[in-house]
Structure 1
Amino acid sequence: MLSQPRLKEILQLLLQPTVHSAADLAQRFDVTVRTIRSDIQALNRLMQGASINLKRGKGYELEIRDQATFEDWKHQALSPDWTLSLDSMEDRQRYLLSILLMHPEWQDPDDLADMIYVSRNTIQSYLRSIRNLVSRYELVFESRGQQGVRISGPEEKRRQCLSEEVLDRNLTDYVTGFSPLEKRLFEHTDLSALSGILYSCLQESCLTCSDYALKNLVLHTAMMLERIRAGGVLPSHETETLPAEVETAAQTLCRTLEQKEHISICPAEQNSLALHIALNTRFSGISEREDLRTAITRMLDRIAAVWHFDLRNDPVLQKDLYNHLFSIFKARRSEQHHLNPLLNTIRSSFPLAYDISLDAVNHVFQTVRLSEDEIGYISLHIGAAVERCYSGQMIPAKVFLVCGSGMATSRMLEARLKSYFQSKLEILGSLSYQQYLALSETELTSADFFITTVPLPDRGIPFVEVEFSLTRDNAENVARMLSPAQAQFQGPCHFFQEDLFVRFDTPVTKEQVLDELCTRLIQAGISEPGLRESVEQREAISHTNLNDIFAIPHPMAPEAARTRAAVAILDHPVPWNDSGTTVQIVFLLAFCKGEQKSIERLYDFLLEIVQSVSLQQSILKAETFEEFRQLCLRP
C-alpha cells in the first residue's frame, strides 16, 4: 500500500542484502536525512510481517518475522495500483492538502517539499494557495517559524474540505474501484472490505442506492474511521429524525465497525453517518409534501406554456421530480450540499433540457433559489421526459443498462436510447454496477447485450460502453450491435441564413458580439427589440458556453417569429464567463414558441458541434457564409 514512488524504491532497496545508511539513502533520493527517517517510519507503520531496524554503525536492515504475511503485504505494497501520480501541479497540491488535513500536527515545509518532489520556493507557492483555499471552509492555515505549518479548525469543516477539494469524483473510475490517492488517504482501512460491509448493511435495511452513492458512503465512512484514529471526533449536534431503516442501518454499521476496527464510535459520529446514509439512499419513508406537489405542477405548467412541451401527464416524471426535490430540501435542512460532478457534462450534452429546467425552476423557486448543481439533476429528469414524448414502440433486441451514477442519469440514458432506437431496443431494466456483478447466469443470458456507462468485467455477454449523454459515436456503436448499417443523423441547414452570419477578424468584447448578433436577428424580423435585454438576463443566471470554444447565448424563453441561429466566428478568443473561459464560436439562438421539433433538431446539431473537434475546426475556417454552409451543414 505504498502510494509514494520513493517509499516503493526504498523498500525495493531494503529487500536486497545490502545495508543502507540514512545518509546513503538521502543522497540517492536527493532529500534530507530527516525525510528518510520519516519515510522509514511510514514504512514501519504500514508494513505487515516485518520491520525496518537501524543497526548501529551499519544502517537500515529489513527483519522479516512472518514470511507469508510479509509476502502478501509486499505483493500489494509494490502493486502499480497504489502509485500516486504527482505529475501535475493540481495533483501535487491536492496531495499536499490531504497531508495537512489528515495530520493536524505541525509539518516541516522542507519535508513536504521532499514528499512531492518540488523546490522550497515551489512549496511556499503551494502553501499560499492552500491558505486561501481552506479559509473558505472556516479553517485556519498556521505557520510558525521552527514549528512548521498546519491546518486547524472545526472537525466537520476539515472533513468537508477533504471531501470537496481532495477526493476526485471522475465517474468512470470513481464507481468501479479505489484510486491510489484514496488508498493513501485511508491507508489503515480496507476499502474493498468496507464497501462490502456497507452494501450488506444497506441491503439488510432494505435501502438502495446508486454505485456513485455507495462509493460516497464508503469514502465518508473511511474518513470517519481515519479521523477517529487520529483523535478528530465530531462534536455533538442536535439530531434530525430519520426513517427507522436508516437509523437501523447506521447502528448496525457502527457496531460492526467497532468490533472489526477495535474503536469506539460516539453518538455524534453515528448520527452523522445516519444522515449521510439518508442523503445517499432511496427509502420508502418519503412523506407527502403538498408544497412540493404544487411546485412541480407550476414547473410543468411553465414548461407547457413557454416551451410547448406538455409533460404534465408523465407519471414517471412526476414521481422522479418529487423524490429529487424532496432529497434537495432534506439535504438543505441538514446544511448539506452535494456537488454535482456531472454538471459540465449535463450542460454541454443536454443544453435544451438544462435551459428548460433553468427557466422553470427560476420561475417557481424565487424565494428559495436552487443551485446549478441541483438544477443539473432536475434537467436530466426533464430531458428524459422530453425524449419519452417522442419515443416509439419497444423492439426485440433485449438489453440491460448498467449505470453507476444513479437514477437520474439512467433515466436520461434510457430516454436517449428510446429516442434514437425507438423501433429496435427493448430495455429490460437499469442496473447498478453491483447489481450487474450479482446477476445469475439465467438473468445474464436473457439479454442480447448490455449498454453500460462504466467498464464491465467480461461475463460472456457482449456489451457496449457509452457516456450517459449518448454521444453521436456512442449511438453509432449501439447501432452496430443492432445492424451493420450505421444510424444516420442529419444536420439542420434551414436554421442558418447569410444575413445572420458574421466573422470578426479584429479583437472584440462579449458585449460587442451579442450586440451585433441581436441587431441582425431584429433587423431580419425574427426577434423583437427586447431580445438583447432578455439575452443579458439569461447570461446573468448561468454562463452559456458549452466548452472552451463554443457558446450558445439565447433569451430567457422562446419569443421569435422563427427558430434561427445567428453565427459569429472570432479570430481572437473572447472571455465568456467569470472564470475566464474564452470562446471563438458563438451561436445566438432565437426560438419560436410551438416549434418543439425544430428546437430539438437545432439542439441536436449544437450537441454534434460540442462532441466533434473536427467540426469545430471546420467552423473556425469558414470565412464566408457559403464556406460555413459547405463545410459544416449537411442537407
Structure 2
Amino acid sequence: MGNHLFAKHRKPPHYNYWKQLNKEKEVPMLTQPRLKEILQLLLHPPLYTADQLAQRFGVTVRTIRSDIQALNRLIQGASIHLRRSKGYELVVCDPERFETWRKQATSPDWTLTLDSMEDRQRYLLSILLIDSSWQDPDDLADMIYVSRNTIQGYLRTIRTICAAHGLSYESGGQQGVRITGPEDKRRDCLCQEVLDRNLTDYVTGFSPLEKRLFERTDLDMLSRIIYSQLQNTQLSCSDYALKNLILHAALMIERIQAGGILPPRQAAILPAEVTLAAERICRDISEAEELEIPESERDSMSLHIALNTRLSGVSESEDLRQAVRKLLDHIWTVWRFDLRNDPVLQKDLYNHLFSIFKARRSQQHHPNPLLNTIRNSFPLAYDISLDAVSHVFQEPAFSEDEVGYISLHIGAAVERCYSGQLKPARVWLVCGSGMATSRMLEARLKSYFQTKLDILGTLSYQQYLKNTDEQLGEADFLISTVPLLDRGIPFVEVDFSLTRDNAENVTRMLSPVRNQSDGPARFFQENLFVRFDDPVTKDQVLDELCSRLTTAGISGPDLRESVRKREEISHTNLNDIFAIPHPMTPEASRTRAAVAVLNHPVVWNDKGSAVQIVFLLAFCKGEQQSIERLYDYLLEIVQSVPLQQSILKAGTFEEFQTLCLK
C-alpha cells in the first residue's frame, strides 16, 4: 500500500481542528521529515523526476506523487509543477510569503518524527483528545501518513486506551470518530499516554510534539509567568515539577479555547501561598491570552501547584517528627544501619512526608516516574524503606510510588554513612528532578569516588541557567542528569542512579579507578545451588530454596512465610530474567544467597513477567557491609546481559562460582 498522503481530493465534511489551527496561524507545518527533504531538493536545480525521488527515498512512485500533492496543499506563495521529461519544478509566485512559510514550516522545532507506530499512535491520540468534535478517519490517516486500513488498527488500540481511562471512543459512521467523557479524565489520559516525560531532556525545553500540541500558546511566556510567580510567593519546585506545571497550564488554555471546562469540585484546604500563586498565575495568563479562566480551572491549578511545590519553610508537626524518629529507630533495630543522627536525612524525610500527606489531603495521587529505576538500581534502599514504612505507617498504607521516593532519601543516607572523606576535584551537580534524586546522586558519587570529589552543591536546571560563568567556574567540571548548554565549563551527563557507564565517564575526568571491594563468592555455597531442568512454578522454586537455607541452618522455619509476605507487598524481579526474593527483615545466622537457575522461564508477578535466575537472599542482622556488597553484586548482574546469559548456561555450582570469582 505504501504511505499515501491526502489520497482523496475532496473537502472533508468536518474541518479538522488541527487544519483549522494551521489556517488561523497561516503556517501549515511539515510534520513529516520526507516532505521537508523533498522541498529542500526542489529549492535548487536540477529537477527531479518521480522515479529519481522514489529511488532516493526508498518508496514507490505512487508515494512520491502523493507527497507532491501534500506539499501543494501545504505550501504558501508557491506551487510545484511537473515538467514533462524533466521533472518537478518549484514555481514561486509570492517570494516574501513563500520565504516566511518555508522558514517556519521547515523549522526543526516543528518537524515531528512519526517513524514508529508508537509515535503515530501518540500523535493520533493527541488529536482526538485535544479536539472533542468528530474526526474523519481518512483525514486522520492523511495527517499521520498511513493508509485507511492501518488507521483502523490504531483506532482499535485507542479504543482500549480510552476504556482504561474511563473515556468513550465513539464511531459515528459518516460523521467519523471522537472521544467523549469527563474533562478531567480526558486531560489525565493526554498527560499519561501522550506526553513524554523522559528525564534526560524533559526539563530543558519543549519537544516538537509539545510545541505542536500547544501551538496556540506561547510556552516560553507561560514558563516565565509560572516561574516568577512561584518565586514571588516563596514556593520552590524541581525543574521536573516546573515543567509539569507549565504543560498543565498549556493544556488548560488549549482545552478552554476548545470549549472543554473542568466541572466544579469541592475545594481542597491548601496553604495560602499555594492559592495566592494560583490566582496570580491565572490572572497573568488571562491577561496574556485574553482568556477567561473559570473558578474550577483555578482550583485545579491550585491543586497542581500544591502537588508540585513545597514551601521554603515547612510548618512544625511533632507527630510527623516522631514518625521520622520511629522510622530511623526501626532501621537501626532491624537492619543495623544507624541513620538516627543524620540531620540531612531527618530534614529530607520530614519535608517529603509532609508533601505526601499534603497530597493525600488534596485527594491526589502523585505518580513516581522513577519507580522502576529506583527499585532496580537501589533494591537495598527500597527494601529497607518498604519494611520501615510498613512498620510505622500501617494505616493508611503507603503506595509503592511513595515508598520509592522515601527510599531515595534512605539510600542516600546509607551511602553517606559508609562513604569516605571529601574529594579534591570540585564539582557542581545539576539535577532536574528534585531534591530526592539529587541527594541520591550526591551519595552515590561520594560512595564511588571517596577521595576524589568535592561536591560544591546542587543546582536545578533553572539555577544553572541563572548562575554566572564566574559562579559555575568555581568547579573543575559539572555532573548533570540533563543535557547542558555549552558554557565553556566541562561537564559529564549521568543518570541519577549512576550506572557503571556513568561512573566510568566521571572517572575519565579524574584519577584512576577506586579499589574494588571483596568478591561475591563467599555469599554462595554448593548446597544452596539448584538447577531446574523441567518446568516448575514460582512456589516450587521458593519452597526448594527456602528448604535448602533452613536445612543448612542459615535461616529458621519461618523463612518461607516471611518470603511469601514480602512477595505480596511488591514484586522482586529486577528485570525479565532475574529475581531476588527475600524475607521481610534480616533473620539469618549469616548473609547468604540460595540460587536457582531455570531452563524454562517461570511467571513471577501479576503483570506476567517471567524469570530464569532466582537468588533467594538471607540477611544476617548487623552485617551491613556484607548486605551492601551482596546487593552491589546483584546490580552487576542486572546491568550485564552477558553475565546473565553465562549464569543461565552454568550447569554446576563450580561453573557458577567461577563466574562469581570473575
Structure 2 length-normalised TM: 0.86
Match of 2:424 among 370, 387, 396: 396
Aligned to 1:221: 249
**1:501 alignment partner AA:** F
Match of 1:156 among 176, 181, 184: 184
CA contact (8 A) 1:31 1:114 kept: no
Mark the CA change 1:504 to 1:278 in structure 2 (over 3 Å): closer, same or farther. same
Aligned to 1:338: 366
How much does 1:563 deviate? 0.5
| Residues 1:423 and 2:451 are matched in the alignment | yes
CA contact (8 A) 1:14 1:62 kept: no
Aligned to 2:157: 129
How much does 1:230 deviate? 0.9
DSSP-derived class of the 2:509 partner: helix
- For the residues of structure 1 that align with 2:109 and 2:439, how far apart are their CA atoms? 33
Aligned to 2:194: 166
Give per-residue Cα distances to partners, 1:548-599, cap 9 Å, x unaligned.
1111111111111110011112222222122222222111101111111111
Deviates more, 1:249-258 or 1:204-213: 249-258
Mark the CA change 1:322 to 1:98 in structure 2 (over 3 Å): closer, same or farther. same
| Residues 1:197 and 2:197 are matched in the alignment | no
| Residues 1:375 and 2:403 are matched in the alignment | yes
Give per-residue Cα distances to partners, 1:183-217, cap 9 Å, x unaligned.
22112223234323322232333322211111111
Mark the CA change 1:430 to 1:611 in structure 2 (over 3 Å): closer, same or farther. same
Aligned to 2:579: 551
**1:401 alignment partner AA:** L
Deviates more, 1:585-594 or 1:228-237: 228-237
CA contact (8 A) 2:109 2:211 kept: no
Aligned to 1:625: 653
Which segments of structure 1 move beyond 6 Å, counting only runs of 4 or more?
A: 9-18, 29-33, 51-54, 60-63
- For the residues of structure 2 that align with 1:422 and 1:175, how far apart are their CA atoms? 30
Mark the CA change 1:171 to 1:550 in structure 2 (over 3 Å): closer, same or farther. same
CA contact (8 A) 1:619 1:632 kept: no
Give per-residue Cα distances to partners, 1:503-524, cap 9 Å, x unaligned.
2223222222212211211111
Match of 1:498 among 526, 529, 545: 526
CA contact (8 A) 1:350 1:383 kept: yes
- For the residues of structure 2 that align with 1:218 and 1:93, how far apart are their CA atoms? 24
| Residues 1:519 and 2:563 are matched in the alignment | no
How much does 1:252 deviate? 2.9
| Residues 1:387 and 2:415 are matched in the alignment | yes
How much does 1:440 deviate? 1.2
**1:218 alignment partner AA:** I
CA contact (8 A) 1:81 1:180 kept: yes
Aligned to 1:57: none
Mark the CA change 1:73 to 1:418 in structure 2 (over 3 Å): closer, same or farther. farther
CA contact (8 A) 1:3 1:181 kept: no
CA contact (8 A) 1:452 1:463 kept: yes
**2:131 alignment partner AA:** H
**1:462 alignment partner AA:** P
How much does 1:80 deviate? 3.5
Aligned to 1:106: 134
**Within 5 Å, which residues of 2 pair with 1:216-255?**
216-255=244-283
How much does 1:106 deviate? 0.8
CA contact (8 A) 1:496 1:565 kept: yes
Give per-residue Cα distances to partners, 1:463-518, cap 9 Å, x unaligned.
22221111223223323322145553543221011111122223222222212211
Match of 1:262 among 279, 282, 290: 290
Mark the CA change 1:113 to 1:557 in structure 2 (over 3 Å): closer, same or farther. same
DSSP-derived class of the 1:362 partner: helix
Mark the CA change 1:79 to 1:486 in structure 2 (over 3 Å): closer, same or farther. farther
Aligned to 1:21: none
- For the residues of structure 2 that align with 1:233 and 1:290, how far apart are their CA atoms? 41
Match of 2:351 among 309, 320, 323: 323
**Within 5 Å, which residues of 2 pair with 1:220-619?**
220-284=248-312, 286-485=314-513, 488-619=516-647
DSSP-derived class of the 1:503 partner: strand
Aligned to 2:210: 182
**2:282 alignment partner AA:** C
How much does 1:16 deviate? 9.6
Mark the CA change 1:523 to 1:117 in structure 2 (over 3 Å): closer, same or farther. farther
DSSP-derived class of the 1:146 partner: helix
How much does 1:348 deviate? 0.7
DSSP-derived class of the 1:555 partner: coil
Deviates more, 1:165-174 or 1:122-131: 122-131
DSSP-derived class of the 2:187 partner: helix
**1:536 alignment partner AA:** R
DSSP-derived class of the 1:101 partner: helix
CA contact (8 A) 2:448 2:514 kept: no
DSSP-derived class of the 1:338 partner: coil
- For the residues of structure 1 that align with 2:632 and 2:536, how far apart are their CA atoms? 29
Structure 1 length-normalised TM: 0.89
How much does 1:28 deviate? 4.8
Mark the CA change 1:391 to 1:591 in structure 2 (over 3 Å): closer, same or farther. same
CA contact (8 A) 2:35 2:67 kept: no
Mark the CA change 1:191 to 1:92 in structure 2 (over 3 Å): closer, same or farther. same
How much does 1:162 deviate? 0.8
Q: Identity of aligned pairs, percent?
A: 72
- For the residues of structure 2 that align with 1:105 and 1:257, how far apart are their CA atoms? 26
CA contact (8 A) 1:475 1:487 kept: no
Deviates more, 1:442-451 or 1:78-87: 78-87
Deviates more, 1:278-287 or 1:421-430: 278-287
Deviates more, 1:358-367 or 1:251-260: 251-260
How much does 1:263 deviate? 1.9
How much does 1:540 deviate? 1.1
- For the residues of structure 2 that align with 1:410 and 1:171, how far apart are their CA atoms? 13
- For the residues of structure 2 that align with 1:104 and 1:172, how far apart are their CA atoms? 32
Aligned to 1:47: none
Aligned to 1:95: 123
Aligned to 2:50: none
DSSP-derived class of the 1:557 partner: coil
